[in-house]
Amino acid sequence: MNAEVSVLLVDDQPDFLENMALALEAAGYHTCNAADGFEALAVLKEHRIDVIVSDIGMPHMGGYQFFQRVQQNPRWAAIPFVFLTGYEFLSEKEIRYGKKLGIQAYLTKPVRAAELLLTVENMLAV
């Protein structure tokens, strides 16, 4: 993959965020990291992003609110968006709600590097 492709990673767990970034960077992607939706919006204002991978449950601004803010901005609305969540939090109701909002994919924690890479590649192919 080309380092020109940028992935925005949003999660409030620093170690998890770092591990995702290392996996993507080892595969040749450029990454930008944010701890919540507010930080992620600031990153989007400063950087060109090709794919967003965001946790749902975060303080300050959670994933659903962040996704809605992204969708309100015409410059960002077409960026492929993947939600992260823990197994214990992923319910059918949550999946339906996300699909209703327009979420393209979900990843469940813990995420294996191969699954993360495949999902990002699939989002870029859409």
Which residue ranges make up each domain of the chain?
6-56+63-111
Cα distance between residue 27 and residue 9, in whole Å: 15
pTM value is: 0.91
pLDDT in tens, 69-88: 999 999 999 999 999 887 56
The CATH number of the domain covering residues in 6-56+63-111? 3.40.50.2300
Number of Cβ within a 10 Å radius of residue 25: 13
- Element at 24 (helix H, strand E): helix 14-26
pLDDT class for 92, splitting at 50, 70, 90? Answer: confident
Average pLDDT over residues 57-63: 88
**Using CB atoms within 10 A of its CB, is residue 27 exposed (0-12), middle (13-18) or buried (19+)?**
middle
Higher-pLDDT residue of 103, 17: 17
Q: What is the pLDDT of residues 110-122, one digit of tens each?
A: 899 999 999 999 9
Whether 108 and 90 have beta carbons less than 8 Å apart is answered as yes
Per the CB < 8 A criterion, the answer to whether 21 and 114 are in contact is no
Least confident window among 11-15, 43-47, 91-95, 122-126: 91-95
